[in-house]
Amino acid sequence: MIAVGAEVPEVDVYDGKGAAPLPVFYQGPTLLLFFRDGCGRCEGMLGLVAGLGRIAKGLTVIGVSQETIEDTAKLLKRIGIKLPVVIDDRPYQASAAFGIETLPAVALLEDDAVTWTSDGCGAADVEELATVMADRIGDREFGLRPEYADEPPIASKHLN
């Protein structure tokens, strides 16, 4: 995974309107969640970060999907998540630039630098994310819902 302190890579991602470098899609502190379909833990993390996006003061949350626009829309509809998403489709340049090995993966970006990461979003990382977000969420508790807690991470598509 990309090193904490590294500059945010300027790789192209896509939205419904076209391609642009990743930093075009956000301003200020941003939490990126890299995910793909067929990953139970990804589904759980999508719910978690979507909730963070609603309650965390001054934080932008963006999903980075390794699926097509159409497949991403179906996934989000199926699990009932609303979240701004960009597409990192073949050859998965953003995933490669961030050095992601397993999904879900999270990167917190502040002042054009990576300030926190998780490759695989294990239980300890989810707990640490709560600590990292404490100033933004106040005394609200959050965590991975139990039905997702035992779901394993899966390999990033850019490694295949």
pLDDT, the chain, mean = 93
3-class DSSP state of 117 = strand
pLDDT at position 156, please? Answer: 96
Specify the amino acid at residue 152: P
Per-residue DSSP letter, 20: E
pLDDT at position 109, please? Answer: 97
Task: Give 25: exposed, middle or buried? Use CB within 10 Å, 0-12, 13-18, 19+.
Answer: middle
Give residue-wise pLDDT tens across range 94-148. Answer: 999 999 999 999 999 999 999 999 999 998 999 999 899 999 888 887 777 888 8
What number does CATH give the domain 32-159?
3.40.30.10
pLDDT at position 143, please? Answer: 78
Rounded to 5 degrees, φ, ψ at 31 are -110, 120
Model-level pTM?
Answer: 0.95
The ranges assigned to domains in the chain are 32-159
